[in-house]
Amino acid sequence: MKLPSGIKRLYGFKDGFAAVLLDNNYWSLMDINGKLYGNYLSVNDFCEGYACVELKNGDFAFLNKKGQLQKERYQYADDYHEGYARVKLGKDKCGFVDKNGKLQKELFTFVYNYNEGHACVQLEDGSWTFIDKNGKLQNGKYQYAESYSEGYACVQLNDGKWSFIDAKGKLQDGRYEYAESYNEGYACVQLNDGKWSFVDTNGNLQNEKYLYAESYSEGYACVQLNDGKWAFIDIYGKLQEKRFVDANSYSNGFAFVQLESGQYAFIDKSGNVKYKDFIWGDSFEEGFACIELPNHMSAFMDKNGQLQEGRFEWANNYMNGYARVKFVDGKEECIDRKGNICFNKDEWKKYIFEKPQLYKYIPFFRFADKKFIFEIQEIIKKYFETEKISSGNEHKKQFAEKIKEMTEIIKQKNIKIKEELDDFYKIIKKEKNRVLENKKINDNNNFFEEMQ
């Protein structure tokens, strides 16, 4: 594939524009006609009509689709969500701007993006609450809070227990050791005895308890039974018969599991094994899953378990009909769903390169007390959703236990998070570097100074 002159790398088109790395190592945004819009230190994709860009002086601003920059400049900025973008103006001064660049009056130590009409914000005293789009604060304050999902927000109360509030701030009766946000009508919660279960939006608990559980996905939840085996339950709590050594949630109709034989496989929603002669697999995207064969070569498998002919050193999942792969001869190419190499200098506009999945941390939110713990947790969650870690849920549980341990240390010693998480940083950085090396991604940015 021949890229336009001056472009080193092309990433995925979104809303008619693609992020491109230029030969001078600056970034730009390019439309489908090949026109470039500016030179920046970094760029985000367009979101709600604007792209967040980092200027050469280190300031951040917003670019519209005509290539015009808003006049306002920020120490940091994020994409627009529900009409507002979160920005940093200075130390502990975070807030929201609308699409006209008008800043809301209230500023906070930390802010989440707006979701379902509310944004989760951290106040000067370290507590958390919510703000609506008119800038009105809810009355309740919490040790920590998550964004609204399906009409409810997950909050940690002053006694350390977790519960849920509705859009008006009304608290549910239930109290839990830990809770995750609602998904498909249920929230995954940890009970006082350490077991896990599910609660509906009315606060009603399912009867069964589990050693560990994942949130519902595509009508099923992945749970660990008392004997240590994994299985799936439907929204009524009915348990499927099949048992697994390890399992991941359903995605596009299939779940990736480890069989009792030790083999890895995909199963459908009836628990039927579709394919098992491989050592790892990604989720199905556009009808295909990228898998790693016993000889450590990558290939694509359809939902009938049939393999495409090609074998690669590595491969990314399909996106908009195309996948990026590296052949054994070292060449990186773009193939279509039939496995054909489809590079043509007149067709470069069609090629969709997957943007590297990096685990990005917002610099001006760093070390915001316990918030940093939960940011790390989200990084890890994203990591396991997007990258290959052979130990699956067991590895996730180890990270979760480490996070809990760090939280207790902070509470007991009242010391800075950075000092206690140095070893934790090293673990995650090591995994990130391993993934980048495997994918041959040239990335010179700091691990904790990038934003999704």
Where is pLDDT greater, at 318 or 222? 222
* Residue 1 reports pLDDT greater than 60: no
**Higher pLDDT pick, 71 / 284:** 71
Lowest mean pLDDT across 161-170, 298-307, 402-411: 402-411
Per-residue model confidence (pLDDT) at position 320: 64
Contact 28, 40 (CB under 8 A): yes
CATH of range 7-138; options 3.40.50.300, 1.50.10.10, 2.40.10.120, 2.130.10.10 = 2.130.10.10
pLDDT confidence of residue 322: 72
pLDDT at 292: 86
Mean pLDDT of 103-120: 94
Binned at pLDDT 50, 70 and 90, residue 32 comes out as confident
**Per-residue confidence (pLDDT) for residue 216, from 0 to 100:** 95
pLDDT value of residue 294: 85
On the question of pLDDT at 343 being above 50, the answer is no
Give the model confidence (pLDDT) of 247-258 as tens digits.
Answer: 889 988 889 888
Q: Where does the pLDDT of residue 452 fall: very low under 50, low under 70, confident under 90, or very high at 90 and above?
A: very low
Indicate the domain borders of the chain: 7-138, 279-350, 363-439
Residue 411 pLDDT greater than 70, yes or no: no
The sign of the CA dihedral 277, 278, 283, 289 is: negative
Average pLDDT score, the chain: 78
What average pLDDT does range 110-127 have in this prediction?
A: 93
Higher pLDDT, 255 or 430: 255
Domain 279-350's class?
mainly beta
What pLDDT score was predicted for residue 184? Answer: 95
DSSP collapsed to 3 states, the chain: CCCCCCEEEEEEEECCEEEEEECCCCEEEEECCCCEEEEECEECCCECCEEEEECCCCCEEEEECCCCECCCCECEEEEEECCEEEEEEECCEEEEECCCCCECCCCECEECCCECCEEEEECCCCCEEEEECCCCECCCCECEECCCECCEEEEECCCCCEEEECCCCCECCCCECEECCCECCEEEEECCCCCEEEEECCCCECCCCECEECCCECCEEEEECCCCCEEEEECCCCECCCCECEECCCECCEEEEECCCCCEEEECCCCCEEEEEECEECCCECCEEEEECCCCCEEEEECCCCECCCCECEECCCECCEEEEECCCCCEEEEECCCCECCCCCCHHHCCCCCCCCCCCCHHHCCCCHHHHHHHHHHHHHHHHHCCCCCHHHHHHHHHHHHHHHHHHHHHHCCCHHHHCHHHHHHHHHHHHHHHHHHCCCCCCCCCCCCC
Predicted pLDDT at 6: 82
Q: Which two tokens stand for residue 295?
A: 């000889």
Higher-pLDDT residue of 379 and 310 is 310
Above pLDDT 90, what percent of the chain? 43
Is 133 a residue whose pLDDT tops 80?
yes
Task: Return the minimum-mean-pLDDT range out of 65-79, 163-177, 222-236, 383-397.
Answer: 383-397
How far, in Å, CA of 239 to CA of 231, rounded? 7
Provide CB contacts within 8 A for 361, sequence distance 6+.
375, 379, 447, 448, 449, 450, 451
More confident residue, 302 or 86: 86
The pLDDT-based confidence of 205 (bands split at 50, 70, 90) is very high
